[in-house]
Copies of this chain bind each other. A is one copy, B any other.
Amino acid sequence: MPFDPSTLVYNDAGLIPAIAQDHQSGDVLMMAWMNAEAVARTLETGKVTYWSRSRQAFWVKGESSGHAQRLVDFRLDCDRDCLLVLVDQTGPACHTNRRTCFYTAVRDGGEVELMAPEV
Contact = CB atoms under 8 A, between A and B. Distances in A.
A110 B43 CA distance: 11
Contacts of A21: 28
Most buried by B among A73, A95, A102, A109: A102
A103 B73 CA distance: 12
A106 B31 contact: no
Q: How many copies does the complex hold?
A: 2
Interface of A: 1-3, 17, 19, 21, 25-28, 30-31, 43, 73-79, 82, 84, 94-96, 98, 101-107, 109-111, 114
B77 A31 contact: yes
Contact of A73 (B74, B77, B94, B105): B105
